[in-house]
Structure 1
Amino acid sequence: MTEVFLGREALGDGFPRHDLRRWYTQIFRGVYVPKNAVPTLDDRILGAWLTSDRRGVIAGVAASALHGADWVDAREPIEMLVSERRRQPGLVIRMDRYRPDEVTRVAGLPVTTPSRTAFDLGRHQPRALALGRLDALMRAAPFASADVQCLIDRYGPVRGVRQLRDLLPLVDAGAESLRESRLRLLLIDNGFTRPETQIEVSAAGGFTAVLDMGWRDLGLAVEYDGAHHQTERPQYLKDRRRMSMLAGLDWEVVTVINEDPPREVLARVYQAYLRRGGAEIDAMAWATRSFAPNRRFGRVGDAA
């Protein structure tokens, strides 16, 4: 781990100010790392905590990462619960109320518990991203929906609680990327029955495939293909053989890529859904709070 420290404490211990300025750089106000270091997410989390004079509690996406959740970029803003606002780039201060039973320790730092982390993620993140973050947290550090509901009851009508109530029943640890979560939410928002995730399909001869999501009773799957599926030749050939085997088992797979507009995704899935015997959907929204009609399915920079 990179050396991360408060400059004033180093100076108080006799460290030369000239050396501090020459060999170290700030990642947060008053928090230093060596100039040749590339700060990791853990480094930035520690630095953010030091800015609070060690009184803050790491929360939100950073807390989920400390609990083991994937798909958190090293440059992600660090959220922290603290009693006084200290605005600076890369740091998000939440002056929300919390109680001692909502805080635990991870890697020596005070961090919101998984249930409190879920309570914050579902309220503060944009809707589609919030579901992805909740899925990732559930996958890494399972939390009970009842415990999150207790926090909803404890704090009442706070900011974002309506969105949290809406998303909580949809959380699924089977999602393997933020874009898969986003795709699943798009389908649910538009009237499809909730798809099952991580569907295992096996056949004689040892063939086994795990499908991102779909409807087992219809033999219909929907899969998100990341960039590596299209650019890596071995992966491309593997996918081709896999699709051929699935077709032989009477499975239909609708493949979605980043550049597909939501309306086009919905049209292709709905056609296949009806073709495989799914019920008609009376009124498809086509665009929702999370998915504008002219937006690509996944934004540049989203986790694959």
Structure 2
Amino acid sequence: MGQPFIGSEAVAAGHVTPYALRSRFEAIHRDVFLPRDTELNAIVRANAAWLWSRRRGVVAGRSASALHRAKWVDARAPAEIIYSNRHAPPTIRTWSDRVENDEIMVVDGMRVTTPARTALDLACRYPVSEAVAMIDALARATRLTSADVALLAQRCTGRRGMRRARIAVPLVDPGAESPRETWLRLLVIRAGFPPPQTQIPVYDEYGQLIAVLDMGWEHIKVAVEYDGDHHRSDRRTFHKDIQRAENLDQLGWIDVRVTAEDTEGGVIARVSAAWARRK
């Protein structure tokens, strides 16, 4: 029993004794148990919330994203589920929105909102930047497109949060490999630059792939990339980055590298300078 389970069912089926249930397992919700010391990630929380609903709810929002195997889902956030019970524990967030049969699928034995419905819920319920980052990750995991979400949104014209969703959904790009890449892409778009292409392959004169750029504008050979800490802390990565930068420079690319220490104004100034060099 490495996954959440309903304690009363397990006892009734003879899988565990009442004593073992109390001594070897821990209640995460009422009558929903986990083996002690189980890591509470987003998938475990989603499973436990669904069992708490006595399998009547539909896993949604962040929790649905986790079950669709999206990355970067906050393991500490409450599970989210469509279920008409307003007395949920603090670790479960419920809402009673209407959900159609074709907006539900089964994942790991649980009823879960489809990727398109999951994306629409996120776009309606979260601030634009946060929603775009979550939907980027969902789209990358599921091949979801903005068109899929826009088509579903036509059913929900009067839904609360739709104005925000109409801003967020067109900004989604599954090319983002991290929330910080999403942040960087949105930053340059909001500064007035054209939406950058993501994951741009660059080849040398022999047809050898030398780099895949986070984002940029291929027609003017300007790239913008976000470097996480591993680019500096890992010696091998650092060495490869030096060679990569030299190769890109030889091919005429301007590569604007961004780190956590950069300010938004500083990033925009550097991108503006790169564009100016192409005029």
- Which of structures 1 and 2 has the larger relative contact order (alpha carbons within 8 angstroms, sep 6+)? 1
Name the residue aligned to 1:87. 88
Offset from partner CA, 1:106-157 (integer Å, 9 cap, x none) = 1111010111111111112222121111112222212344442343232223
Could you say what secondary structure the match of 1:221 adopts?
strand
Tell me, in whole angstroms, the C-alpha distance in 2 between the residues paired with 1:86 and 1:267.
50
TM-score, length-normalised on structure 1? 0.85
Indicate if the aligned counterparts of 2:137 and 2:176 stay in contact, CA closer than 8 A. Answer: yes
Tell me, in whole angstroms, the C-alpha distance in 2 between the residues paired with 1:127 and 1:29.
34
Tell me, in whole angstroms, the C-alpha distance in 1 between the residues paired with 2:258 and 2:214.
11
Offset from partner CA, 1:29-71 (integer Å, 9 cap, x none) = 3311111332443322211100001100011122122223222
1:181 aligns to 2:182 (yes or no): yes
Name the residue aligned to 1:215. 217
Tell me, in whole angstroms, the C-alpha distance in 1 between the residues paired with 2:150 and 2:205.
45
| Cα distance change of structure 1 residues 145 and 255 upon mapping to structure 2, 3 Å threshold | closer
TM-score, length-normalised on structure 2? 0.92
| Cα distance change of structure 1 residues 168 and 3 upon mapping to structure 2, 3 Å threshold | closer
The code of the aligned residue for 2:193 comes to F
Name the residue aligned to 1:251. 253
Aligned pair count reads: 277
Name the residue aligned to 1:242. 244
Name the residue aligned to 1:149. 150
1:43 aligns to 2:44 (yes or no): yes
Name the residue aligned to 1:300. none
Name the residue aligned to 2:108. 107
| TM-aligned CA deviation for residue 172 of structure 1 | 1.3
| TM-aligned CA deviation for residue 101 of structure 1 | 1.3
Indicate if the aligned counterparts of 1:2 and 1:39 stay in contact, CA closer than 8 A. Answer: no
Q: 2:267 aligns with which of 265, 268, 279?
A: 265
The 5 Å alignment of 1:62-81 reads 62-81=63-82
1:137 aligns to 2:155 (yes or no): no
Indicate if the aligned counterparts of 1:29 and 1:88 stay in contact, CA closer than 8 A. Answer: no
The code of the aligned residue for 1:7 comes to G
Q: Give the unaligned 5+ runs of structure 1.
A: 278-304
| TM-aligned CA deviation for residue 161 of structure 1 | 1.1
